[in-house]
A and B are shown apart, each in its own frame.
Chain A
Amino acid sequence: GQQVMQIPQYQHVQEGEDFTTYCNSSTTLSNIQWYKQRPGGHPVFLIQLVKSGEVKKQKRLTFQFGEAKKNSSLHITATQTTDVGTYFCAGNYGNKLVFGAGTILRVKS
C-alpha cells in the first residue's frame, strides 16, 4: 500500500537554529500536505503543494515539493519556542491522505 516515510522522528534544537523535516513517498503523489499538531492538540492544516518542484513560503517556513512529486520538505528558519509540536506530512493518493510518522520538534530557549 501507499506509504509516506518521514524523518527525523525527533529533533531538539536551540532557539534560533534551523530545522528541517523530510518526507518520501514510494509512489507519485497528486499533492502533499503539511500539518502541525501542538502538544495535546489536533492537527492543523499548514499548506498544500501540488506542482512538481513547487516551493512555498509562510514567514519562516519553507515548503518544497520534489520534481518527481515523491518527496517534500519543511524547513523552519530561526526556530522559536512557538514552533514546538509535531509536524506531519500527508501524501494525497486520490482522495485519501496517508500521514507520515511525524517529526517532533522541541526548541530550547
Chain B
Amino acid sequence: GAVVSQHPSRVICKSGTSVKIECRSLDFQATTMFWYRQFPKQSLMLMATSNEGSKATYEQGVEKDKFLINHASLTLSTLTVTSAHPEDSSFYICSAAGQGNEQYFGPGTRLTVT
C-alpha cells in the first residue's frame, strides 16, 4: 500500500511557540491530504482538507489562523500550530487520499505543549 510519512513523530514545545509538522506521501502523488486530531482513546476529528496549490478547507470550529496548512507540492503538506498552548497538546495525524477515496495515514505526531 501507499506510504505516508510524518515528521516529527514527537515534539515538546513551550507555550507560545510555533510547531511545524510535515506530512509526505512517499510513493505516490497526493492532490488531497487531510489533517486530523486524535485525543487518547477517542476518534479522529478532521481538522482540515489540504489541496495542492490552493487554500485548505477548515472544519467548523478549527481556527485557520492558528492551524496553518500549506500544501505546496503533490507530496508534501505542512501543518503549523502557531502560538501553541497546553490545550493544543494532542496526537496529530495526516492522511493522503488514494485513487479510490481510501486514505493512507501517516504515523502521527504527538505534540506536548508545556
Total number of A residues with any Cβ neighbor in B under 8 Å: 21
Q: Is the CB of B60 within 8 A of A102?
A: no
User: Among A1, A48, A88, which residue has its beta carbon within 8 angstroms of that of B100?
Assistant: A48
User: Among B42, B46, B104, B107, which residue has its beta carbon within 8 angstroms of that of A97?
Assistant: B46
Q: Is the CB of B32 within 8 A of A45?
A: no
Chain B interface size range: 20 to 34
Task: State whether the Cβ of A95 lies closer than 8 Å to any Cβ in chain B.
Answer: yes
Task: Render A16-57 as a binary contact track against B, CB cut-off 8 A, 1 for contact.
Answer: 000000000000000101010000011111001000000000
Q: Is the CB of B43 within 8 A of A42?
A: no
Q: Is the CB of B102 within 8 A of A48?
A: yes
User: Among B42, B45, B102, B108, which residue has its beta carbon within 8 angstroms of that of A45?
Assistant: B102
Cα–Cα, bound, A27→B92 (Å): 28
Task: State whether the Cβ of A101 lies closer than 8 Å to any Cβ in chain B.
Answer: yes
B contact set with A: CB distance below 8 Å: 1, 32, 34, 41-46, 49, 60, 93, 95, 97-98, 100-108
By Cβ-Cβ distance, the 9 closest A-B pairs, closest first, are: A42-B105, A99-B44, A45-B102, A99-B43, A101-B43, A43-B105, A42-B108, A42-B107, A102-B43
A contact set with B: CB distance below 8 Å: 1, 31, 33, 35, 41-45, 48, 88, 92, 95-102, 104
